[in-house]
Structure 1
Amino acid sequence: MMLAPDREGATSDGPAREPRAPQGRRPRQRYGAAMKVVRRAHMYLGLLVFPWILLFGISGVLFNHPQIGRDFERRSISAEQVSALTAFRPWDPDAVARKVVEQLNAGSASRYTLDASTPGAFSGWPELIGSTSDGGRTMVLIRLDDGAATLSTFPPEPAKAPDPPFAGATVELPEHRMAAVEAQVKHLLPKLGIDGAGPLRAHPKVSPELRFRMRDADGRLWNVTYDLGAGRLDGRLDGAAGQPLFVELLGMLHKTHHFPVHGGMTWIWALFADITGITLVLWALTGLAMWWQMKPSRVVGAIAVAVAIAVAAVVMSGTASDIVFGKVEKGGA
């Protein structure tokens, strides 16, 4: 006859034995603790940068829909109407391509032929600007291949800030221009031991500017910029009208990037842009980890992830091919 154990795990005829811990308890505890960290990171990073995520998300949509938040009217004009009202007729991209190749062959020793497997296509559209009687402006975009057009009518521009009286003036400071910097450091690379390096040249289009404020004889405060490349002055009256629309300001913020040489709010902006990008990456990874934790949804989730990867690969590769078509990457700063 077996003896029943008492509450302490001991039988009536033997010493008490300590209960054994369930197998694998510690790995499960570590896994639970790790997933807790994952969920907290997922949540608190989102709370930290949610204003930046909203800004980048909204401004990104506005790039594709510029009519939102702007006061203008847009209407479509059919190809038949364009043809009836103007002398414009749609162009055949393949016919234009053939003429281009014919002209190229006429002035070259090489012989080129069109690739019949790739049909010609227009990228972009003609943009034609006009004006209205009330001081507004119009913009017409025409599709070259089918003749249809889009007409946008803009109201008169609001009052702009007055141009500074010194706008466009040139101040010659030879010792404080990019030409002076170039002359002083052009032989830096050989001195640093870089074999075969030629002299440094100042970028023809990119140059820093000096920013400062000054008051005129009437006591008005001007925000002044001095182009250290061209030596030209520009500026605006501090606090004057003519600020960009809110949607335009969102777009400007969206496109602001790079860490400035010196600190300031722009440096902090770039820092939060980095944090936002890192957060989006972590969201994707922690989202996968949290999905994997839910066993009932693993199969459906795996199908969704596979579909997402396939769609992203097709769309991204196709868009990348369209972007780089006919373009050669050039070096630059």
Structure 2
Amino acid sequence: MPHRRPLHKRVMHVVRRGHLYFGLLLLPWAILYGVTGFLFNHPTAFADAPTAAFGRPELSGTPMESVPSPAEVANQVVTALRSRANPPVGYELVQPERAKYTREAAFATVKADGRELNVLVEVGGNGGTVRSRPTPQTAPAPVEKAPFAIGGGGPKGGGRGPGGEKGGRPGGGEKGPRPTAPADTLSLELPLHDRVKAAVPTVLERTGFPSGEVTVTSVPDLTFLMTDGTKTWLVTYNAQVGTVSGRPADDAPPADDLSTRRFLTRMHTTHGYPGEPNAKWYWAVVVDAMAFVMVFWGVSGIFMWWQIKATRLVGFLVLVLSVGAAVWLGSGMHEVLSASAR
């Protein structure tokens, strides 16, 4: 009677073979996730358009070299509101450490030499990126106005002015036309968007890009707590349009619960190195390490598979099937994404 191997050895043999064949089957996706993770983390790597990153040296000598902290700007806003109040109200800044910008960066566009330059500048003055692309030569086709459309002519998705809840966010996002300031505005000396506008030409010169007319398309809102002596307010200030809005701090909507699923998906899409070391910076290091390990795992797996002669034929068939499926699915996704971008 031939000797049969123990059950646990037979099970481990199946597990090892399954690990091998599933690894070959998922090889293209492992490499894809590794490479795209690296690209997410490094916007200037293998860019499809001229792109450059800049840091504090490129911002030296510009108004963005030394940017007031959110608490300092909030204190300026409170002081200006106190001076404008009639009858006088003793506005005071509350918990200045909670003052913050709603986004980490401001954005500007420059049209020069037939190209459109998109400039991202971190509000902390740590740096940013410049991305260049050709200016579209043909005007977009006119869009028929829907019979049920209401309003129009202003920035899409703009905020409500003073007294509203959104504080007049320009353009409703990171891109869009520069908003028109209302008649009554609150302007500070050298606000954030003017600092960005003054710094962009210097940054372009030092990074080797042509200069032109600078348009700051978006800056983040500033939120902070302020008291009038009887009530605490959650205030939102937009320096670009000069709007101030607020609501009682007690009436602020509760923060969205960060569910396990949202936490995991947001971790997967979090990428890039912030201007200073923090948890996000170290997470970016892990993303780079995972990108390297996944590519190494995929490539080294081929060598390990080839060393086992008994698995070469089946492994080759699985690998051909995997590559063929990846090419087919990649072509299909390219067609779908190209259609949605038109």
Shorter chain as denominator, the TM-score bin is: 0.3 to 0.5
Q: TM-score, normalised by structure 1?
A: 0.38
Structure number, greater radius of gyration: 1
TM-score by length of 2: 0.37
Which structure's relative contact order is higher, taking Cα pairs within 8 Å and 6+ residues apart? 2
